């Protein structure tokens, strides 16, 4: 518990040292303000009872000056604190997201890890901010206790016993409630993840389109209602379990306040204290109780904060990033790729995605990897990019184990277009360059080669036009084919010499597909490596190597003519697809 919270405190100190000291100073001022609040009624009542109007005015002025000074400092601090906290939140989120990028994909394939990730992300700013409040509360309570005990040293032992009893009971009950709340938060995290997924279906354009087109709204609300009932049931269960504890604490508070008022009332009647001291004593008792409860409550708050911080800190310290190599060899150019007896199984899957796969690709090769859906074609890309590592076998680039290369350098050398490519809600320019330093001329040339230049140049903002209006106003919508062409233009704009494309023309008609493949073969440098993964055989006869996969294995490998001669799987696939484009005379 202490380790977690001190780690958070160290983060606060690292992010903004001035803010931490500022908060300590304000906490001390808060304690001073509390003492003034306790003393003011006593002096003011004495002045009122004496009938001295000027003394009343003097008392008010004497107390008003430090109150105004403290209020002014608090106002200045709140203005600074709101900006400083937001800057800290940005740093916390940036660190969190960078860790997310660094982790292996396998981490997120695990349901428990993914749930922990959601809890950690939902609480990462909160737990860091909480530690500031805990520190301020600790300092305030310590100073308050010192001042108030000095002020009420004459109070008899029974009052301290009463404080001790009330505090002990509150501590035990609140500690139980914090543990209960954390256990429920884990259950709510899972349910909220499910409900939030359903919420996204109602505002992400492609889902909204499907819902409208297929009249799915009623069905979606029915599904949502099931999960909403679970959330309501959990909330009801949590409320019912908390109710007896809350009722007990509420009753205890009423009883305590009544007994304290009665005790000091008898003290006035017995002339042990003056009438003017009555409110001071009651206020002092309450402030003393709050100060002691604040100190004992520190444990409860630290305990509660530690439970949520544990997910956050464990996520940041997670070592499930074996595919990330920052210190490896910088890869300048890919001349040869080798898969040697590579086998791979996805997490939570009993079947091998790749089973003893071996092949070699050299500079200048144009390779087609073919096979039905689920044959293992896309898995080859993921292993080549070190999104995963194989369980068996080795992958070499230029004769060196892929694990020895700097991961960023490796990925920078491979321009990849996935089947489920991403089009971002950024500008067209950013979608083509992907954050790289690419000139406007090169971007326009790349768009020219995919027949998109005329469309883009006729737009009001040309290359600065955003795609969709999710981030910026005046965004445009692209058709499926246009989005795919835009994604393909990244290939032309890239400086890489190794290109891997997964079903790059799935949204194009056969004629556009044929034109595009021809252009790709002509325009890409002669010594580049081109790997096209597909189940369509449009231009395979032009490839220098064809790899046919089935159930994670390579079953055929060679050039078009050789594979046609053996009349195997490739022969069958080619003839079936060819028949679709042949007009037979009847």
The DSSP annotation for 430-459 comes to HHHHTTS---HHHHHHHHHHTT-HHHHHTS
The answer to whether 391 and 345 have CB atoms below 8 angstroms apart is: yes
Q: Which of 288, 316, 344 is the last residue of a domain?
A: 316
Q: List beta partners, residue 336.
A: 362
How far is 533 from 501, CA to CA, in rounded Å? 6
38-47, 312-321, 324-333, 531-540: range with highest mean pLDDT: 324-333
CATH number at 60 reads 1.20.1560.10
Residue 497 scores a pLDDT above 80 = yes
Structure tokens given for 384: 């080549």
> Does a structural domain hold residue 329?
no
**Predicted confidence band of residue 358 (pLDDT cuts 50, 70, 90):** very high
Residue from 259, 36, 269, 295 nearest 159 by CA: 259
CATH number at 393 reads 3.40.50.300
Q: Do 416 and 284 belong to one domain?
A: no
> Does a structural domain hold residue 379?
yes
Q: Do 402 and 528 belong to one domain?
A: yes
Q: Do 312 and 439 belong to one domain?
A: no
Look at phi and psi of residue 397 and say left if phi exceeds 0, alpha if psi is from -120 to 50, else beta.
Answer: beta
How far is 17 from 20, CA to CA, in rounded Å? 5
> Does a structural domain hold residue 328?
no
Q: Do 301 and 197 belong to one domain?
A: yes
Give residue-wise pLDDT tens across range 376-400.
888 999 999 998 899 999 999 999 9
Q: Which of 451, 477, 503 is the last residue of a domain?
A: 477
Q: Do 380 and 273 belong to one domain?
A: no
Our CA dihedral for 424, 429, 434, 437, rounded to 10 degrees, sits at -160
pTM: predicted TM-score of the whole model, two decimal places: 0.67
Q: Do 458 and 483 belong to one domain?
A: no
Q: Do 233 and 297 belong to one domain?
A: yes
User: To the nearest whole number, what is the mean pLDDT of the chain?
Assistant: 81
The percent of residues above 90 in pLDDT, for the chain, comes to: 10
Q: Do 303 and 370 belong to one domain?
A: no
> Does a structural domain hold residue 352?
yes
Q: Which of 285, 316, 347 is the last residue of a domain?
A: 316
Give residue-wise pLDDT tens across range 537-550.
777 777 889 999 99
What's the pLDDT score for residue 583? 47
User: If you search the block for the tokens 């737009």, which residue do you land on?
Assistant: 459
> Does a structural domain hold residue 152?
yes
Q: Do 234 and 172 belong to one domain?
A: yes
> Does a structural domain hold residue 584?
no
> Does a structural domain hold residue 326?
no
**Predicted confidence band of residue 205 (pLDDT cuts 50, 70, 90):** low
Residue 584 scores a pLDDT above 50 = no
Q: Do 120 and 177 belong to one domain?
A: yes
> Does a structural domain hold residue 284?
yes
Residue 159 scores a pLDDT above 70 = no
Number of domains in the chain: 3
Question: Of 553 and 239, which is predicted with more confidence?
Answer: 553
Q: Do 233 and 372 belong to one domain?
A: no
Q: Do 303 and 450 belong to one domain?
A: no
What's the pLDDT score for residue 209? 61
How far is 534 from 505, CA to CA, in rounded Å? 9
Residue 352 domain boundaries:
336-423+478-579
What's the pLDDT score for residue 548? 92
């Amino acid at each position: 518990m202490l380790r977690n919270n001190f780690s958070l405190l160290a983060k606060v100190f690292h992010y903004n040292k001035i803010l931490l000291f500022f908060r300590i100073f304000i906490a001390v001022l808060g304690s001073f303000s509390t003492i003034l609040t306790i003393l003011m009624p006593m002096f003011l009542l004495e002045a009122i009872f004496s009938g001295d109007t000027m003394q009343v005015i003097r008392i008010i002025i004497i107390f008003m000056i430090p109150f105004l000074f403290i209020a002014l400092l608090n106002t200045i601090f709140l203005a600074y604190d709101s900006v400083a906290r937001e800057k800290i939140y940005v740093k916390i989120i940036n660190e969190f997201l960078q860790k997310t990028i660094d982790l292996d994909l396998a981490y997120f394939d695990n349901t428990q890890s993914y749930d922990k990730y959601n809890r950690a992300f939902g609480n990462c700013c909160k737990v860091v901010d909480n530690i500031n409040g805990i520190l301020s509360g600790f300092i305030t309570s310590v100073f308050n206790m010192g001042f108030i005990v000095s002020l009420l040293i004459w109070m008899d032992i029974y009052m301290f016993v009463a404080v001790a009893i009330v505090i002990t009971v509150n501590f035990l009950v609140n500690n139980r409630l914090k543990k209960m709340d954390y256990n429920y938060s884990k259950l709510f995290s899972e349910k909220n993840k499910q409900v939030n997924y359903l919420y996204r279906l109602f505002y992400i354009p492609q889902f909204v389109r499907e819902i409208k087109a297929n009249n799915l709204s009623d069905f979606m609300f029915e599904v949502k209602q099931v999960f909403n009932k679970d959330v309501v049931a959990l909330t009801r269960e949590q409320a019912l379990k908390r109710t007896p504890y809350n009722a007990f604490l509420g009753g205890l508070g009423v009883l305590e306040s009544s007994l304290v008022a009665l005790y000091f009332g008898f003290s006035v009647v017995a002339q042990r204290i003056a009438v003017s001291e009555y409110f001071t004593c009651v206020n002092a008792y309450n402030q003393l109780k709050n100060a002691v409860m604040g100190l004992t409550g520190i444990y409860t708050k630290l305990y509660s904060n530690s439970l949520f911080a544990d997910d956050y800190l464990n996520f940041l310290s997670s070592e499930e990033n074996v595919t990330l190599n920052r210190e490896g060899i910088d890869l300048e150019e890919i001349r040869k790729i080798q898969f040697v007896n590579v086998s791979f199984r996805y997490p939570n899957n009993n079947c091998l995605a790749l089973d003893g796969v071996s092949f070699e690709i050299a500079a200048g090769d144009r390779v087609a990897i073919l096979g039905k859906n689920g044959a293992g074609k896309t898995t080859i890309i993921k292993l080549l990019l070190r999104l995963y590592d194989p369980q068996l076998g080795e992958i070499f680039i230029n004769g060196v184990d892929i694990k020895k290369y700097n991961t960023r350098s490796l990925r920078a050398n491979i321009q990849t277009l996935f089947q489920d490519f991403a089009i971002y809600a950024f500008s067209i320019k950013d979608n083509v360059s992907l954050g790289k330093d690419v000139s406007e001329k090169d971007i326009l040339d790349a768009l020219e080669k995919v027949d998109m230049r005329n469309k883009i140049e006729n737009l009001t903002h040309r290359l600065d036009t955003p795609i969709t209006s999710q981030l910026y106003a005046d965004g445009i919508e692209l058709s499926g084919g246009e989005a795919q062409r835009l994604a393909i233009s990244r290939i032309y704009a890239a400086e890489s010499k190794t290109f891997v494309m997964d079903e790059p023309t799935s949204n194009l008609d056969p004629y556009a597909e044929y034109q595009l493949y021809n252009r790709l073969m002509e325009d890409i440098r002669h010594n580049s490596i081109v790997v096209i993964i597909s189940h369509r055989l449009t231009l395979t006869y032009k490839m220098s190597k064809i790899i046919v996969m089935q159930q994670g294995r390579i079953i055929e490998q060679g050039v078009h003519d050789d594979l046609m001669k053996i009349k195997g799987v490739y022969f069958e696939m080619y003839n079936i697809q060819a028949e679709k484009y042949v007009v037979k005379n009847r």
